[in-house]
Amino acid sequence: MSEFRRHDRDDLARAFWVQAPGRGEIRPVALRARGPDDVLVRAVRSGISRGTETLVFRGGVPRDQHARMRAPFQEGDFPGPVKYGYLNVGAVEEGPADLRGRTVFCFYPHQTAYVVPAGAVTLVPDDVPPARAVLAGTVETAVNALWDAAPLVGDRVAVVGAGMVGCCVARLLQRFPATRVTLVDVDPSRAAVAASLGVAFAMPDAAEGGCDLVVHASATSLGLQRSLELLAPEGTVIDLSWYGDTAVSLSLGGAFHAGRLRLQSSQVGTVSPARAGRRSSADRLAIALDLLRDPAFDALLSGESRFDDLPDVMAGLASGSVPALCHTITYAEP
């Protein structure tokens, strides 16, 4: 029997909801009627954005950030019940002729099928497998971060935090000529991932300083502090972390003022000011999917589970008992 479980009707699907902090469930959902400018998409793969989605799962979204943190097709409200997620790849079953049968990426939660406006989906290149394509939203974040960071040829760069975002940033930086890129993380097993991405690896205490640029993506105070310590005078830290309801404390004595160090935030909700006048968010996502032709990104796909198992998987990811960079969810063929 398929994961879609038609129940003899074409207007039913199933979706993952966070029922309450720390508890998820699979619910039946009714699909809205498809209009002439809509597509019906059957999910093939979805990806769990571990940092953000486990924050949502444990109820860690601050009240004053509820509106800002809403996903494009979210239903419900924080802390729950809420249907949340945004890395979905599927096949178009119904819609405009140029999209029917094509594989598309959509910022949609974990759901077996869905109806959205045709403009909400982006074509996946034929040579990008669906499992890798779920990384499109994460690579898009990395693209925006590098537009903010504006690295130069020959820069010495550290990426602190070898999660999904940090690894994607490191791989893109690796393509800059003569650039020295080091991925820094407290988990020594990430050394193998760094090797697959073609960059160096170091534990925080062993990382080499004197960096022109540091991209921080560990979502910890210690990681951000170490990022500042790794800078050369007049260097910049680009902070990509989302801390949720966790307080961040820093020591800004020492070299911070004397070295004229810079700390700059970056986030994907808007296109970087460096490109906002010439690129749209749709352009940025298309660039990300094109970059995913690179098979090195497969190193980030560290586990997969069936859709039915998603409540237990999310709990395991939140507790740390399920180790993963990008854990993907599979949907059975109809």
CA 21/CA 39 separation, integer angstroms? 32
pLDDT digits (tens, 9 = 90+) for 46-101: 999 888 899 999 999 999 999 989 999 999 999 999 999 999 999 999 999 999 99
Residue pair 287/128 in contact (Cβ under 8 Å)? The answer is: no
Predicted model pTM: 0.92
Strand-pair partners of 309: none
Confidence at residue 2, expressed as pLDDT on a 0 to 100 scale: 39
Tell me the pLDDT tens digit for each residue of 152-174: 999 999 999 999 999 999 999 99
Write the class of the CATH domain 12-135+292-330: alpha beta
Q: How far apart are CA 325 and CA 135, in angstroms?
A: 11
Q: What confidence score (pLDDT) does residue 11 get? A: 72
Domain boundaries of the chain, sorted by first residue: 12-135+292-330, 138-265
User: Which candidate, 285, 281, 320, 325, places its Cα nearest to that of 302?
Assistant: 325
- Res 230: pLDDT: 98
Would you say the CATH fold of 138-265 matches that of 12-135+292-330?
Answer: no
pLDDT at 334 (0 to 100): 47
Edge-to-edge strand order for the sheet containing 262-265? 200-202, 180-184, 156-160, 211-216, 231-239, 262-265
Name the residue type at position 318.
A
The helix-helix angle for 310-319 and 50-57 (nearest 10°) equals 100
Residue 220 Cα to chain centre, angstroms: 17
What are the helix and strand counts (H, E) for the chain?
Answer: 9, 17
Distances (CA, A) of 304 to 80, 110, 132, 307, 334: 25, 14, 12, 9, 19
Helices within the chain (DSSP H only): 50-57, 130-133, 136-149, 164-174, 190-197, 221-229, 255-258, 281-291, 310-319
Q: How far apart are CA 74 and CA 81, in angstroms?
A: 11
In 3D space, the residue among 133, 150, 140, 164 whose CA is nearest the CA of residue 53 turns out to be 164
Write down the pLDDT at residue 9. Answer: 46
Residue given tokens 């809509």 in the structure block: 38
**How do strand 121-123 and strand 113-117 relate by DSSP bridges?**
unpaired
Phi-psi region of 87 (alpha: psi -120 to 50; beta: other; left: phi over 0): beta
Q: Measure the N-to-C terminal CA separation of the chain; round to a whole number of Å.
A: 7
Which fold is adopted by the domain 138-265? Rossmann fold (3.40.50)
Q: What is the pLDDT of residues 118-130, one digit of tens each?
A: 999 999 999 999 9
Low-confidence stretches of the chain (pLDDT < 70) are 1-10, 333-334
Rounded-to-integer distance, Cα 259 and Cα 262, Å = 9
Sheet arrangement for strand 75-76: 23-30, 12-20, 82-83, 75-76
- The neighbour count for residue 297, using CB atoms within 10 Å, is 23
Three state DSSP letters for 186-254:
CCCCHHHHHHHHCCEEECHHHCCCCEEEEEECCCCHHHHHHHHHCEEEEEEEEECCCCCCCCCCCCCCC
Q: DSSP secondary-structure letter at 77?
A: -
Q: What CA–CA distances, in Å, run from 198 to 168, 180, 181?
A: 12, 11, 9
